[in-house]
Structure 1
Amino acid sequence: MTEGGTVLPWLVIRQDEGGNQYRVGRYATRAEAERVADRLDSPGQRQLYVVEKVDHAAT
């Protein structure tokens, strides 16, 4: 997937307590995606933020 020609293979996904998953955003680097996930994660919240890499062959 690209945005303005830039490859954005890293996803931040939010998973709630019911197991539902929502894509939060796409990022160019793993480090950038992890910073976003860390910033969104707060103690006491019931959702989980995970970072995953998209397989370009599947998109």
Structure 2
Amino acid sequence: MSDTSAVLPWLVIRQDDNGNRYRVGRYATEDEAQRMVTSLDRKGNKQLYWVERIGRTTL
């Protein structure tokens, strides 16, 4: 694990209509990452967003 992973262990993931997954950003806390998901959801996009912790992802 790199130094960046230790400092920013929370990822926001986006899945598009075709099932493709992308990392949107990395965050220091789960709350910070969840706030980003909430913000993106409020924009009315039809994309699916969620929070994952590094080391527990399926990407």
Identity %: 60
Let me know the Cα RMSD of the aligned residues.
1.8
TM-score (norm 2): 0.77
Gaps of 5+ in 1: none
More helix per residue: 2
Q: How does 1:8-27 map onto structure 2 within 5 Å?
A: 8-27=8-27
Aligned to 1:37: 37
Q: Which has the larger radius of gyration?
A: 1
More strand per residue: 1
Runs of 4 or more consecutive aligned structure 1 residues displaced over 4 Å after TM superposition: none
TM-score (norm 1): 0.77
Gaps of 5+ in 2: none
Number of residue pairs aligned between Structure 1 and Structure 2 = 53
Q: Secondary structure at the match of 2:42?
A: coil
Q: 1:39 to 1:53 in 2, by over 3 A?
A: same
